[in-house]
Amino acid sequence: MTNELSIALLQHVPAPDNIAAAVERLESNAATAAAQNCSLLVVPEASITGYNIPLETMQKVALPADGETTEKISAICRQHNIAIAYGFAERDGSNYFNCVQLIDKTGTPLGKYRKTHLWGDLDRTLFTAGDNLAPLINIEGWKVGLLICYDIEFPECARRLALEGADLILTPTGLMQPWREVAERVVPTRAYENQLYIAYANYCGSEAELNYEGRSCIVDPNGEDLARAAQETTLLTATLTRTAIDEARAALPYHRDRRPELYSALGQ
């Protein structure tokens, strides 16, 4: 178990329907992040395949969770001694899922999560909703949770991970205009009220008719930005400390002072 965890977060312009270019981009940024002593790299929602794409393109580019592309990403993890959380469109039988998978520095897939809260017609036209929230994953002794984009806007998702002991929530996203408030207000609030770190990796630029907000961020347990992007391609880095989590929870004992018997019906 380590007191510190250095992470990197990539904000980039989408390159839909170009998996080879996406993997090359991932390898280049993994090398850069590793050179800065980062243990984990996070990239946006559906970064490998593209997000806002036609159904016929989805049918062509969607990937199994354990196929050739996963093997290539595992090799990148081993080569650069870094864990990677990457978004992709997952093919499972006749269904497509908006998925994030986390592979550790040895190249071992540790877990995946399928987006449970679908956003509007865009998601519902392409994807099947996941039915389960992912279990926490151990990275360098840190308990890491996974959500995708719209999921973080539901406070129950982050709270459930916090109550299970999460130190950090990774949130690959595709936040588009005009919803900047999610990146600038909602994400810091989720970190503050749950007293944990959130890494929120968004796109910049455009994809078809969507213009993305950028504003990717790494937020601490006090809701303060450790790193914040504007609207250009960038690689953010930050060092997280367990001390900051402990101090936040000691100062404001939200977890201890909850009274779930009063609001358990909210889960119905």
Catalytic residues: 45, 115, 149
**HEC assignment per residue over 190-232:** HHHHHCCEEEEECECCEECCEEECCCCEEECCCCCEEEECCCC
CB contact set of 137 (below 8 Å; sequence gap of 6+) = 102, 110, 111, 143, 144, 145, 146
CA nearest 140: which of 101, 191, 104?
104
CA separation (Å) from 138 to 104, 132, 267?
9, 18, 27
CB contact set of 158 (below 8 Å; sequence gap of 6+) = 145, 147, 152, 169, 190, 193, 194, 198
CA Rg, the chain, in Å?
Answer: 17
**HEC assignment per residue over 106-167:** CCCEEEEEECCCCCHHHHHHHCCCCCCCCCCEEECCEEEEECCHHHHHCHHHHHHHHHCCCC
d(CA 167, CA 174): 23
